[in-house]
Amino acid sequence: MVFRKIGILVMAIILLSLLVPILLYAQEEKPPTTNPLWIKELGDTVWCVDLSPDGKYVAVADWDDNIYLLDSKGNILWTYSTEGNVWTVAISENSNYVVAGSKDKKLYFLDISGELLWSKQLDSYVTQVALSGEGEYIAASTVKGGVYCFSKAGEELWRYNVGDKVWCVAIARDGSLVAAGSSDKNIYTFDIDGNLLWKYEADDTVTSIDISADGSYVVMGAQDEYLYVFDRDGNLLWSKMTGGTVWVALTPDGKFLATGSRVAVSGAEVGLPSGYSYEFKTVEGERLWKVLINSSVLDIDVSDDGEYVVLGSWDGFVYLLDKEGDYIWIYGLSGDRVYAVSISSNGSYIVAGTKNSRVVFLSSSIVIGGKTDEKPSPGTAEGGISFEVIVALVIVVLIALYVVKKIYEGKKRKEKIEKFRATMRRKRQE
C-alpha cells in the first residue's frame, strides 16, 4: 500500500514537471497586434477585395449586388449596382480600370471614376476575373466551364469551355499567358490568341492559380492538398503536400511563393481550432519557413518583393508575416471570417473583406505591444492568462491535493491499524 502511494506521488510529480514547461510556454509573449486605419461596413458579405499597387484605391465585390471603390481614407468614391452577388473584382496595375464579375452572369469593366465602359453577358455567373498590367486584357472564368479573354475595348478575343466549373483564372502582367483551374482537376494554359498550350491534371479540384509577371512560372493549388509549380511550357518543376486545400500567391518576379492551406470535409469547407501549415517557398522548391496557425486560411497575398505575406483566416484573423516567417502583427475580428485579403505592392497597406460586411484597412507599420488583443485561439481570462492555462493549473492543484489527501488518509489508517494491533496484543498478555 505504501509503495502504491509513493507511485501516485511520483506520477503527480512527473505530471507537474511536464505541465510546468507547457504552461510557461503558453504564457510567452504573444505576437503584436495593430489598430486598423479604418473599418467600413457595407451591405452584405465582402467576398473579394483588391488594393491598387500604391494603396490609394480599394475595389470591393459585395454580396449586396454592388461593386464599390473606396479611397485610402475609407470614403466610398462610387458604387455600381449589378443584378446579382458580386463575386470577384480587380484593379489594373496603373489604377485606371476596375473589372468585376457577378452572379448575374455579367462581366463589368469600369474606369477609375466609376463610369461603365462596357459589360458582357457570359454563359454563367463569374467566379474570378484577372487583368493584365495596364488593363489591356481581361480574363474571366465561369461556373459553367467558360474561360474568356476580352480586350480593353470590350472585344471578345476568345473563349474556351472546359466542360466543368472553372473556379480560378490568372493572366500574366504582359498578357502573354492565361491560366484557368477547374473542378475537372485540370489546369489549362492559353496564349493571348486562345490557343491551348498545355494542361495538367491534379487529383482533385484546382482552387487557386497565379502566374509570374512574364509568364515564366505558373503555380496552382488544389483540393488534393498539393502545391504545383510549372514552367511556361508546362513542365512540372516540383510539387509538395501541404495538408489542406491550397491557396497560392506569387511575387511578380517569380522568386517567392506564399501558400496557405485549409481543410475540406465531404466537400464542405470547415475551420477547426488546430494547426494548419502556411508555407513560404522559393519557386525552386526550397521551403524558407513553415508557420502553424489555429485556423484555415481563406485567402493569401504577398507583396511584390516578398517582404510581407498576409493571410485571412476562418476564425476572423488577419495575419501579417515578414519574409522570415515571423509575425509582424495579428488583428482579430470577433465572430467574423476573413474571406479576402490584398496587399499593396510595397507592403505598406493591407485590406481585408469579411463575412459580416466589413472592409478593414490596415498598415504594416502600426504595431502595438507584444500581445494580441485577441489571441487567435479560445478565449482568454482577465489579466491575459488564458482560460486553458487556468484550467490546467486547477487540474494540477486538484491532483496534488488528492495525492496528499490519499497519503494522509493512508497514514492515519496505518496508525489506526497499529493502534488496534497494540491493543489486541495487550489484551492477550492480560
Q: What's the pLDDT tens digit per position in 281-315?
A: 777 888 888 888 888 899 999 999 999 999 999 99
| Strand ranges, E, within 162-284 | 166-171, 178-182, 186-190, 196-201, 206-211, 217-222, 226-231, 236-241, 245-250, 256-265, 268-270, 276-282
- pLDDT > 90 in the chain, percent: 65
Indicate if 392 and 318 belong to the same structural domain.
Answer: no
Predicted local confidence at residue 370, as pLDDT: 61
Q: Is the pLDDT of residue 98 over 50?
A: yes
**Dihedral angle of Cα 410, 414, 420, 422, to the nearest 10 degrees:** -170
Indicate if 325 and 363 belong to the same structural domain.
Answer: yes
Predicted local confidence at residue 220, as pLDDT: 96
**Please, which pLDDT band fits residue 188 given cuts at 50, 70 and 90?**
very high
- Cα 236 to the center of its chain, rounded Å: 25
* Integer Cα distance of 324 and 35 in angstroms: 23
Indicate if 324 and 253 belong to the same structural domain.
Answer: yes
Scanning 288-335, the segments in alpha helix (DSSP H) are none
Q: Average pLDDT in the 405-423 region?
A: 65
Predicted local confidence at residue 19, as pLDDT: 56
Instruction: Record the pTM.
Output: 0.79
Lowest mean pLDDT among 108-122, 142-156, 209-223, 233-247: 233-247
32 belongs to a structural domain: no
For the purposes of burial, counting CB atoms within 10 Å of the CB of 5, is it exposed (0-12), middle (13-18) or buried (19 or more)? Answer: middle
Please state the domain count of the chain: 2
Characterize the bridge pairing of strands 46-51 and 57-62: antiparallel
Record the cell numbers describing residue 331, joined without a space.
488583428
Predicted local confidence at residue 295, as pLDDT: 85
User: Of 336, 354, 376, which one is at a domain's C-terminal end?
Assistant: 376
Indicate if 199 and 325 belong to the same structural domain.
Answer: yes
33 belongs to a structural domain: no
221 belongs to a structural domain: yes
Q: Average pLDDT in the 319-326 region?
A: 93
* Integer Cα distance of 303 and 53 in angstroms: 9
Predicted local confidence at residue 10, as pLDDT: 52
Q: How many CA atoms lie within 13 A of 395 on its CB side?
A: 11
Indicate if 10 and 106 belong to the same structural domain.
Answer: no
Lowest mean pLDDT among 33-47, 59-73, 345-359, 361-375: 361-375
Q: Which domain holds residue 405?
A: 2-27+385-429
157 belongs to a structural domain: yes
Cβ pair 118, 85 in contact under 8 A: no
Scanning 29-136, the segments in alpha helix (DSSP H) are none
Indicate if 336 and 408 belong to the same structural domain.
Answer: no
Q: Is the pLDDT of residue 340 over 50?
A: yes
Indicate if 395 and 256 belong to the same structural domain.
Answer: no
User: Of 353, 376, 399, which one is at a domain's C-terminal end?
Assistant: 376
Burial code of 55-80, b = ≥16 C-beta within 10 A, e = fewer? bbbbbbbbbbbbbbbbebeeeeeebb
pLDDT tens digits, one per residue of 139-180: 999 999 999 999 999 999 999 999 999 999 999 999 999 999
Indicate if 132 and 86 belong to the same structural domain.
Answer: yes
What are residue 218's DSSP bridge partners?
Answer: 211, 230
Q: Average pLDDT in the 204-215 region?
A: 96
Cβ pair 297, 260 in contact under 8 A: yes
- 63: domain CATH number is 2.130.10.10
155 belongs to a structural domain: yes
Indicate if 288 and 181 belong to the same structural domain.
Answer: yes
Q: Average pLDDT in the 394-411 region?
A: 66
Indicate if 369 and 400 belong to the same structural domain.
Answer: no
Indicate if 22 and 100 belong to the same structural domain.
Answer: no
* Integer Cα distance of 114 and 344 in angstroms: 21
Task: Kindly give the interhelix angle for 2-26 and 387-429, rounded to the nearest 10 degrees.
Answer: 170
116 belongs to a structural domain: yes
* Residue 140 or residue 270, greater confidence: 140
Indicate if 346 and 412 belong to the same structural domain.
Answer: no
243 belongs to a structural domain: yes
